[in-house]
Homo-oligomer: A and B are copies of this chain.
Amino acid sequence: MATLVFPDHPSPVADAEAIYNACKGWGTHEKTVIGIIAHRNWTQRKLIKQAYHDQYQEDLIRRFEKELSGGLERAVYRLMLDPEDRDAVLLHVAIKQGGVPDYRVIIEQACIYCPEEFLGVRRAYQARYKRSFEEDLAQCSTADFRRLLVALVGVYRYSGSEIDAKLAQAEAEILHNAIKKKEYNHEEIVRILSTRSKAQLIATFNRYKDEHGIAITKDLKEDTGNQYLTALRMTIRAMVDPQKYYEKLVRQALTKTGADEDDLIRVIVTRAERDLRDIKDLYFKRNSVTLDQAVAKETSGHFEALLLALLGKQE
């Protein structure tokens, strides 16, 4: 369930005008901006952008970039883009940082979004950057990461619920044998994780646990800080239970010194209109403190206000 609280039929023209007045002259009345932006769904925000442009011949996103700063600016920017375009920007940021791509963003989209949805993001990426995401990803990654990530991005996964129990058993064994020999980059691991349907993979992981008494994610753990292993575990977790995956991501983001703003923003912005309530429930169960409380503790000012509004706090 979503957390976003928004009115049914707000007037985009009135919203645009209120935002214009809040940004006019010296200083910005952030509270007004947040009161609108964080209480509209993306269709409504799209209409506000349009109304603002028609009324003031100015791009609202650019205006916000001038008026806002820090975490608040980044969060508002992500809120104001169309979801597919926003996700394309997130993918681009993930591979443009140099070094190993931020595989979490890629894995999230490739494994959690449904095939049709992720395809929409890949189309938006092409429209924005005039290249395919695949070619940028393949160019800026290497070796094991390239093989895993490009395969995850390329598959148009079957979404049906049929499973083949024999296949699950056979592939649980293939996985186990490769893991036992510590051949984590084995071609078969990538093949199975990147091509099988989620239902089939869950059956395979269950079989793995039944046969070997340990979850495959536990078996994929070493104390070496091997990032590729982390990516494999994330792939599995994202596929098996997206909400649990997000809960862990947020938990880790909030326990880092100063909190990892980007992760926090990403989860809250991308899930507020979807399943953020479920993620909040899981968070409370796991941490005995509400996500709102944890966010309030780690953030401050207008940025805090925006995140809490997206988390469902009523004025």
Contacts and interface: CB of A to CB of B under 8 A. Distances in A.
Interface of A: 119, 122-123, 126, 130-132, 134-135, 138-139, 146, 150-151, 153-160, 162, 187, 191, 194-197
Contact of A156 (B122, B194, B196): B122
Number of copies of this kind of chain in the complex: 2
18 contacts: A119-B119, A130-B158, A130-B160, A130-B162, A131-B197, A132-B155, A134-B154, A134-B157, A135-B158, A135-B195, A135-B196, A139-B195, A146-B187, A146-B191, A150-B154, A153-B154, A154-B154, A154-B156
Given A131-B197, A138-B191, A154-B155, 20 more contacts: A119-B119, A126-B156, A130-B158, A130-B162, A131-B158, A132-B157, A132-B195, A132-B197, A134-B154, A134-B156, A134-B195, A135-B196, A135-B197, A138-B194, A150-B151, A150-B195, A151-B154, A153-B154, A154-B154, A154-B156
- Give chain A's interface secondary structure class: helix
A195 to B, nearest CB: 4
A162 B132 CA distance: 12
Contacts of A146: 187, 191
Nearest to A195: B135
A132 B151 contact: no
A135 B197 CA distance: 9
Query: 6 closest Cβ contacts across the A-B interface?
Result: A154-B154, A135-B195, A132-B158, A138-B191, A134-B195, A138-B195
